[in-house]
Chains A and B, each alone.
Chain A
């Protein structure tokens, strides 16, 4: 397959020129790059290419077709689907006609799905396939606003007779029939938009409650994309693989705003399950993924190494040791001595390069992680490998990214320096405020929440606590309201402890408790795959996940992990007691958000008995549990969990306030 070479013309932002919106950029790029590749999608085992001109034509036809369905300026259009070119066509077509795109997570279910649809009140829903159509039709008469449902994968939909259903092909055909006259109208409408117009509603992941509809303008999105590209320039034609949910602001920033600005070639994976293979085939130049993805990469590597023949294992350990030593010298600002340099070179060629290749990271110029905190060990691992991994910090309300590491100044304990045009200040309360062009237009239909989120100077109250060090690097400690105090008013950050524990390859999720209690305790859910492998290697027989968690060998394995973390933590805030949960925390059980952040309040409520038992000093707890099968049927069962002690409570000084 011929892969389009990078454009010799250097990025000069002249593309942006007079363009203020994404549809304007699309039209401009189609003029300038014409038959060059804009998108690639793996279908039927081959990478199919879509040129800039075709990209524009798809968007134009769809946009004109949608206007025939009644799309007008300011109408909301819900878009739900996997990462595929049609998603991009849909968003741009809606925006071209001055509608607002509303991206939903394709795996969002039930209440969450209903809430967003009811809140945004879309006129039209553009859905990928039967699965999404079923979800929408499942809401019954509850969604009177939706007049048309456009789908683009007809499989299984033949026998559906809802009159609102129409295929994207048909809508496009209706657009195509408008011919030259339509094309002119399209050009006129696209040109008439400006940076102050709202591009769409971006729902927050809902860590702290129901998802909120953040209205972002083109100005917000474009100034972020420009700012990021000023700091970290990419070259036109650089490859990017779009594989994270399109409902996430981070993915839309890259796949839509940044990709249109630079412009990048956006590659869409064949199926969600084939991403790791597709990643290897594409070898993207830039990548943006939450810590979870990097952590998974690392634990896959660790499992691979442990299962490898001894020679490979020894070489891998040696190579990583060398790489870490070289990294340590570089971060300390020291020269790498010649022998170490040579050894690093040898390590690169024997091991490091193939490790990177197996993860598809060989051609990366830059990689970003954001959305949650990353364990320092994960960060250092990729830095040592030679991946230019940086942290970014931002929120949906400021278009995703406001703070990013600069080349050569990436550190695991900070999230970087503000982008040009971003003004970051720390309030007296320790809260981080962000000001600048990035700050959102407001929450959709919620002026009260909007007012609460902004300072009088239109700075965004992030709700995060942090500080800026002398090198102008921002450190984020935790959510302001998540900082906790023990009964004796010792302050601690639960997230810090959680992240430290989660770095262990054997631990998948942790929830820390301790607010107004005598000591810190933890709910831990183990990593089924890694602990499973470990159990196999150590001849520990087990049946189910629940059974595995309660094996004495597994308990002592996790106990040693907890003790390892406790070493680096001040006495009073060490984890005293913990329990291994009988299940993995799951977004389908509302315990996590779709971006896999813990919903602490909900977890605390759900496992109240368990937590009380931990603090009551008991060593066993019976828990009634519900298992939901495919959303409908519910089965109840009882599990017995062991409550474990990492530090003997009596060994610490006596505490006040305990009856």
Chain B
């Protein structure tokens, strides 16, 4: 009764890790990423930090297939993702929450979450366009059920039937998370999930991210500027500056790391 099917099903999904191997990305003469390598272990919460323009979002875009790195490889459980199209990568179980809200503002919360089920619907458009048979109804119900479980998970029941455009920013971010979860991802990429949020909204969001990790067993890759959040919830932190990885380790160590202090505060470190 108390554990949801959604939770059970996702737990049954094998936890997956990511390997980032020597990834380089250039836009003309600009080196957005320069030989970045690190691993994301299955079930781990890894944060990527770095100053603006360091290449954090570019790296996420490489993982989810929006950019294709000129060099290096990204592997999900040993399979190379760099040759795949974004929808194929999503189909392999990599979900993403964007930095700027990318929802359909005129659709309701429920419809937006249902859209996250798109990959699983496997429509036969010719048949679906011609008739509405029990098969379609059953499918619809099944997916609605998953959507509802996710709505319960991020506690947005009250807003279920409201157009997303009417909701506050913090709630819209929660809907984004819900839509990403609707894909039942094995790896969830979060790009600044608490950016622009007030204290209470931040605490709520952090709670949900931890729930995703602990309850669903999802591997989480997080980009975040809010250092308090990063130190509190990450298992490991990777620091990127000018497209290069400058440090990697547990959050408390990273917070003291001379390179990190140099990158953020411009002090310490040797003059090159």
Q: Which residues of A contact B (CB under 8 A)?
A: 43-46, 152-156, 158-159, 167-169, 270-271, 273-274, 277
As a 0/1 sequence over residues 191 to 235 of chain B, the CB contacts with chain A under 8 angstroms (1 = contact) are 000000000000000010011001100000000000000000000
B248 within 8 A of partner (CB): no
Contact partners of B148 in chain A: CB under 8 A: 44-46
Instruction: Judge whether A271 and B158 touch: CB under 8 Å.
Output: yes
Residue pairs across A and B with Cβ atoms less than 8 A apart, 15 shown, are: A43-B152, A44-B148, A45-B110, A45-B148, A45-B157, A45-B160, A153-B2, A155-B215, A156-B210, A156-B211, A158-B215, A167-B2, A169-B3, A273-B157, A274-B158
With A156-B214, A169-B1 known, 5 other A-B pairs at CB within 8 A are A152-B1, A156-B211, A168-B2, A271-B155, A274-B158
The answer for the CA separation of A44 and B2 in the assembled complex, in Å, is 12
Asked if B151 lies at the interface with its beta carbon under 8 angstroms from chain A, I say: yes
- Of all chain B residues, the one with the shortest Cβ separation from A272 is B158
A270 touches B157 (CB 8 A): yes
* CA A78 to CA B155, docked complex, whole Å: 26
The residue in chain A whose Cβ has the minimal distance to the Cβ of B214 is A158
A154 to B7, CA, bound (A): 11
Nearest-neighbor residue (CB-CB) of A45 within chain B: B148
Which of chain B's residues has its CB closest to A158's CB? B214
Q: Is the interface of A mostly helix, strand, loop or mixed?
A: loop
Asked if B149 is an interface residue, CB under 8 A from chain A, the answer is: yes
Known: A153-B2, A155-B215, A168-B2. A44 touches B145 (CB 8 A): yes
CB distance from B141 to the nearest CB of A (A): 10
Q: How far is the CA of A270 from the CA of B207 in the complex (A)?
A: 21
Q: Closest CB of chain A to B178's CB: distance in Å?
A: 13
Q: How far is the CB of B261 from chain A (nearest CB, A)?
A: 28
Complex Cα–Cα for A274 and B3 (A): 21
Give the one of B144, B157, B160 with max A CB within 10 A: B157
Chain B neighbourhood of A156, CB < 8 A = 207, 210-211, 214-215
**Interfacial residues, chain B to chain A (CB-CB below 8 A):** 1-3, 110, 144-145, 148-149, 151-153, 155, 157-158, 160, 207, 210-211, 214-215
**Dominant SS at the B interface?**
helix
Tell whether A45 pairs with B151 under 8 Å between CB atoms, given A155-B211, A273-B157: yes
In angstroms, Cα B144 to Cα A152, docked, is: 24
User: How many whole Å from A536's CB to the nearest CB in chain B?
Assistant: 18
Residues in A neighbouring B210, C-beta threshold 8 A: 156
Q: Would you list the 4 A-B pairs with minimal beta carbon distance, nearest first?
A: A44-B148, A273-B158, A45-B148, A158-B214
Which residues does chain B contribute within 8 Å of A45, judged by CB atoms?
A: 110, 144, 148, 151, 157, 160
- CA separation between A649 and B164, bound complex, in Å? 56
B152 and A44 within 8 A (CB)? yes
B158 contact set on A, CB distance < 8 A = 271, 273-274, 277
A273 to B162 CA separation, bound complex (whole angstroms): 14
- Shortest Cβ distance from A501 into chain B, in angstroms? 32
Tell which of A158, A169, A271 touches B157, judged by Cβ atoms closer than 8 Å: A271
Alpha-carbon distance between A158 and B212 when the two chains are bound, in angstroms:
12
Verify A274–B2 contact, CB threshold 8 A. Answer: no
- Cβ of B144: which chain A residues have Cβ within 8 Å of it? 45
Residues in chain B near residue A271, CB distance under 8 A: 155, 157-158
Question: Which of A45, A156, A168, A273 has the largest count of B CB atoms less than 10 A from its CB?
Answer: A45
Q: A158 to B151: give the CA distance in the assembly, Å.
A: 20
Measured between alpha carbons, how far is A155 from B4 in the docked complex, in Å?
A: 10
- Give Cα A271 to B151, complex, Å: 12
A274-B1 contact given A44-B145, A45-B148, CB 8 Å threshold: no
Residues of A within 8 A of B207 (CB): 156
Closest B-chain residue to A85, C-beta based?
B1
Q: How far is the CA of A153 from the CA of B145 in the complex (A)?
A: 19
Rounded to whole angstroms, the CA-CA distance of A152 and B1 in the bound complex is: 9
State in angstroms the CA–CA spacing of A159 and B145 once bound together.
27
Select from chain A the residue with minimum beta-carbon distance to B148.
Answer: A44
In the assembled complex, which residues on chain A have CB atoms less than 8 Å from the CB atom of B160? 45
Contacts of B1 in A (CB 8 A): 152, 169
Q: Is the CB of A274 within 8 A of B157?
A: yes
Most buried by B among A44, A154, A168: A44
Given known pairs A44-B149, A44-B152, A45-B160, the reply for A154 and B2 (CB within 8 Å) is yes
Chain B, residue nearest A152 (CB): B2
Query: How many angstroms between the C-alpha atoms of A609 and B155 in the bound complex?
Result: 43
Question: With a CB–CB cut-off of 8 A, which chain B residues contact A277?
Answer: 158
Q: Whole-angstrom distance from the CB of B175 to the nearest CB of chain A? A: 15
Q: From residue B145, how far is it (CB to closest CB) to chain A in Å?
A: 6
Identity of the chain B residue whose Cβ is nearest the Cβ of A172 in the assembled complex: B1
Q: Which residue of B lies closest to A151 (CB)?
A: B2
Assess the A169–B2 pair: CB atoms within 8 A.
Answer: yes
